[in-house]
Amino acid sequence: MKPMIKMTVALLSFIVFAGCTEEIPQKETIRPVRAMRVPDPSEFTGRWFPGQAKATQEVDLSFRVTGPLVTLPVNVGDEVRKGQDLARIDPRDYEVSLRDARGQLSKSKAEFERAEADYERVIRIRKQDPGAVSQALVDRNRQQMESTRAEIRSQQAAVDAANDQLGYTFLKAPFDGIITATYVENFEDVKAKQPIVRLIDHSQIEMIVGLPESLISFADTMKVSGKLLVVKFDQFADREFQAQIKEIGKEASQTTRTYPITLIMDQPGDIKILPGMAGKARPGAMVEKKGAIVDIVIPETAVFSPDDGNQTYVWIIEESSNQVKRRAVKTGELLATGISIKEGLKPGEWVATAGVHYLSEGQQVRILSPSSQEVTQ
């Protein structure tokens, strides 16, 4: 084939190939994001949460020494005051030990006085006649005096220890409370650290209720604001009591997957709430004039502020299109569970909670579950 013909064929082939080639559009990248559905405050404010009463303080009391009981003046149900005697071990052996320690201390003090007098005497003689007393004799007398002084310190410590041991034969109430159990009988030989009686502080009562993870943030806002909850006990179904949130647990129960919330309330004056009583609790006021009594709380990582202003935003994920839309919000207090949102969010909406600085308006995303698996919408 001639060169001109070859060039013509090649040119025609290029034209045909170029005409058949179309531009392939690039597929938009869908970014996976972590997100949360905005919780509904009414799920918290409109529900009763079951719980159980417990004492603010409860302890099994025991002796620090061993011996036979000679006094056990309390019974189950007795109310006692701080410092009151609850039981007594026979003190005679410990009284003997204390007298012996004191005798040894007196002996050491007498030996020290003699050693001190001998040392002062050889010092006076040496001043009067330097050649009459050797340096070795002076050193021996000084060492004897220091040795007996050290023995006094040791014996004084022994006296203090024996005195403490005698004091430990009394079992005293560490706080005002009520006896709920006795574990031994009078005249029984007891060992150190063996439980003798159980004492609880019933001046205040705690109640433990369990909240699911989706509602735990509402308890946080109530604790910070100091708002009250209403408590009822099955034993006194017609009575309502006010309580505050004392503690919010940080670890969920392995069986119920709820977080323990500890409420605290004063003991009523006319009835006694006892540990173990079953009951329930809910927020004390259902709705205020300006809205719900608790704020919506989202992770702090969900909010961001552009460099060009003071406004705070979040990314809302539209379920219909899986696109993110920037929305301004009004933030409140920073809490242990996140940041409260005063305005700008509605229950049920999806909010991006991580990687917010890498998202852009209208970008398509897919929501990841806590285990990093995709959630079908």
Q: What is the pLDDT of residues 284-316, one digit of tens each?
A: 754 343 445 677 888 899 999 887 667 899 999
The domain 61-89+175-198: what is its CATH number?
Answer: 2.40.50.100
For 2, phi then psi, to 5°, come to -70, 155
CB 67 within 8 Å of CB 166: no
Over residues 111-127, mean pLDDT: 89
Mean pLDDT of the chain: 85
Provide the pLDDT for residue 371. 45
Q: List the domain boundaries for the chain.
A: 31-41+295-368, 43-56+202-291, 61-89+175-198, 92-167
- The structural architecture, per CATH, of the domain 43-56+202-291 is Beta Barrel (2.40)
Q: What is the pLDDT of residues 319-328, one digit of tens each?
A: 888 899 999 9
Closest Cα to residue 214, out of 50, 33, 47?
A: 47
CB 101 within 8 Å of CB 159: yes
Instruction: Examine the pLDDT at 230 and tell me if it is beyond 90.
Output: yes
Confidence of residue 39 (pLDDT cuts 50, 70, 90): confident
pTM tops 0.75, yes or no? no
The domain 31-41+295-368: what is its CATH number?
Answer: 2.40.420.20
For 27, phi then psi, to 5°, come to -80, 130
State whether the Cα torsion 260-266-270-275 is positive or negative.
positive
Answer whether 43-56+202-291 and 61-89+175-198 agree in fold.
no
Confidence of residue 28 (pLDDT cuts 50, 70, 90): low
Instruction: Examine the pLDDT at 255 and tell me if it is beyond 60.
Output: yes
